[in-house]
Chains A and B, each alone.
Chain A
């Protein structure tokens, strides 16, 4: 028997967990609902509820056991399911609300934090199920607690469905209006994607794609605090050295995800899918992606140089992480959700970070305009135009982009909203005063770009 660890290595791991907020952000079990179909809403509700509670009944218990065994926090246990617009394609929109409530009930029963998959994939057009689901989203999200919804409105291969973009602007606004008393929380559980991944463990966008197996375990890691510290400790490192330091750190963070994923997979007897390498911030001080960028030498996140800093960070995280895991997937990049990141919140409050800069930043990282509070008098068309811009970035750059914005009903730029918990709170960001109405009302599809013709 030889001692295999140096004291410094042990100390480093413990410091990462205790002082730098390293945790496993989520263990997400994907469950296929493709075998749950029925014409009868009552039967379908029962089938879906039974399938989720039977398959994921032990998820929380196993997550807690693994957390205790390795001494690393596992913050969320979640479930993602087959997009409901597919699994419940025969249902009308009132029945879709009932399905959402069945999902919510199952989530409560098994004690998970969120359930994702109240979703539709409409990049090329709508099925009847898609239309029913989308119309039901505002009511479904305002009358449930744990259900998350996502709609994919574009892909690089299919182009952008601008009819869906127009519709989603209205749906987001209505979701916020129905939950105006809670700062529009329903809109915080709704994300609009371009190039949505089928194995994403993170909410609100997780769903279990139709190419996925019967059940699967996907893991999302965290760790901005760990990277922020490494960057801070090397103020004189040039960019090559900085990139290497981040790669090494990312490797270690991702190995935690790999370990926990394998352990969960074994305990639950469910195949291990992927580790999502995303650097996911939390509102906790010191667990901020903005802080990493500022530690690189920017006075405030959002100033000139921010996009370059984020590009370096995002690339180094992927390079280090890809080496650490047998299968990498999901979103895998640095997240820049405003309300969930104390550094981003400060940068917006101080006027350093604007919506336009955030849009530029989404060109070089995962995922998109995330957890951004908009003035309450924003029009549905303006939200649609914001979605269209973001989707265009995703479509042309062959990457996932998303929009999760929250119209703060009755509030103006500069006011604050509070969502609580991991969702945090944020100042309301200013938007352009000029109209995009005629543009988004043109309808039809933006054709797939020439780069989609790869065959």
Chain B
């Protein structure tokens, strides 16, 4: 397993909520608008609950992580979805030594 370098600019987007049509289209559309590159995506549906985890690269992005987080969280809220955008280091620090 390769560890990302200290200065990586990757973020993890999680979307949780009741399943509905177009969630992925909405998120990836917003990301494309901001030049955010999707590196990996996985989703499951458990008891009608949609969970998506996306790893994205903000290196080429035209937006800062906090701006992206605000946009997606707000729009997600309107759709009844809980969206979080977090720099990957929070997961790296917690789960990797």
A13-B55 in contact given A70-B86, A71-B85 (Cβ < 8 Å): no
Mask: chain B, 35-75; 1 = CB below 8 Å from A; 0 = not: 00001101010000001010100000000011001100000
A4-B90 in contact given A68-B65, A68-B66 (Cβ < 8 Å): no
Interface membership of A259, Cβ < 8 A: yes
A4-B87 in contact given A10-B14, A255-B93 (Cβ < 8 Å): no
- Contacting residues, chain A, for B14 (C-beta < 8 A): 10-11, 14
Chain A residue with Cβ nearest B95? A9
CB distance from A173 to the nearest CB of B (A): 45
Interface membership of B92, Cβ < 8 A: yes
The distance in angstroms between the C-alpha atoms of A9 and B14, with both chains bound, is 12
Which bucket holds chain B's interface residue count?
A: 20 to 34
CB distance from A73 to the nearest CB of B (A): 12
Chain A residue with Cβ nearest B3? A4
Interface membership of B26, Cβ < 8 A: no
> Among B55, B69, B92, which residue has its beta carbon within 8 angstroms of that of A68?
B69
> Among B44, B70, B87, which residue has its beta carbon within 8 angstroms of that of A70?
B87
* Contact A5 B90, beta carbon cutoff 8 Å: no
The distance in angstroms between the C-alpha atoms of A252 and B91, with both chains bound, is 10
CB distance from B93 to the nearest CB of A (A): 4
CB distance from B67 to the nearest CB of A (A): 9
- Contacting residues, chain A, for B88 (C-beta < 8 A): 4-5
The distance in angstroms between the C-alpha atoms of A4 and B92, with both chains bound, is 8
- Contacting residues, chain A, for B65 (C-beta < 8 A): 68-69
* Contact A10 B87, beta carbon cutoff 8 Å: no
CB distance from A29 to the nearest CB of B (A): 21
Q: Which of A9-62 contact B (CB under 8 A)?
A: 9-14
CB distance from B73 to the nearest CB of A (A): 9
Interface membership of B21, Cβ < 8 A: no
Interface membership of A2, Cβ < 8 A: yes
The distance in angstroms between the C-alpha atoms of A31 and B14, with both chains bound, is 39
- Contacting residues, chain B, for A12 (C-beta < 8 A): 95
The distance in angstroms between the C-alpha atoms of A65 and B70, with both chains bound, is 12
* Contact B90 A256, beta carbon cutoff 8 Å: yes
Interface membership of A3, Cβ < 8 A: yes
* Contact A69 B53, beta carbon cutoff 8 Å: no
CB distance from B56 to the nearest CB of A (A): 12
* Contact B3 A258, beta carbon cutoff 8 Å: no
> Among A1, A5, A68, A255, which residue has its beta carbon within 8 angstroms of that of B12?
A5
Chain A residue with Cβ nearest B2? A2
* Contact B53 A252, beta carbon cutoff 8 Å: no
* Contact B39 A13, beta carbon cutoff 8 Å: no
> Among B1, B42, B70, which residue has its beta carbon within 8 angstroms of that of A2?
B1
Chain B residue with Cβ nearest A8? B95
The distance in angstroms between the C-alpha atoms of A4 and B69, with both chains bound, is 21
Interface membership of A7, Cβ < 8 A: yes
* Contact A13 B1, beta carbon cutoff 8 Å: no
Interface membership of B84, Cβ < 8 A: yes
The distance in angstroms between the C-alpha atoms of A330 and B88, with both chains bound, is 28
* Contact B42 A7, beta carbon cutoff 8 Å: yes
* Contact A4 B66, beta carbon cutoff 8 Å: no
* Contact A252 B95, beta carbon cutoff 8 Å: yes
* Contact B94 A13, beta carbon cutoff 8 Å: yes
- Contacting residues, chain A, for B84 (C-beta < 8 A): 14, 71
Chain B residue with Cβ nearest A255? B93
CB distance from A454 to the nearest CB of B (A): 34
Interface membership of A336, Cβ < 8 A: no
- Contacting residues, chain B, for A72 (C-beta < 8 A): 86, 90
The distance in angstroms between the C-alpha atoms of A71 and B85, with both chains bound, is 7
Q: Which of A227-282 contact B (CB under 8 A)?
A: 252, 255-256, 258-259
Beyond A9-B95, A13-B94, 9 additional pairs, beta carbon < 8 A: A5-B88, A11-B14, A12-B95, A13-B91, A68-B66, A69-B86, A70-B90, A72-B90, A256-B93
10 contacts between A and B (CB under 8 A): A2-B1, A4-B3, A4-B4, A9-B95, A11-B51, A13-B90, A71-B84, A72-B86, A72-B90, A259-B89
For the complex of A and B, list the 9 residue pairs with the smallest distance between their C-beta atoms, beginning with the closest.
Answer: A71-B86, A68-B66, A259-B93, A70-B90, A255-B93, A9-B95, A252-B94, A69-B87, A5-B91
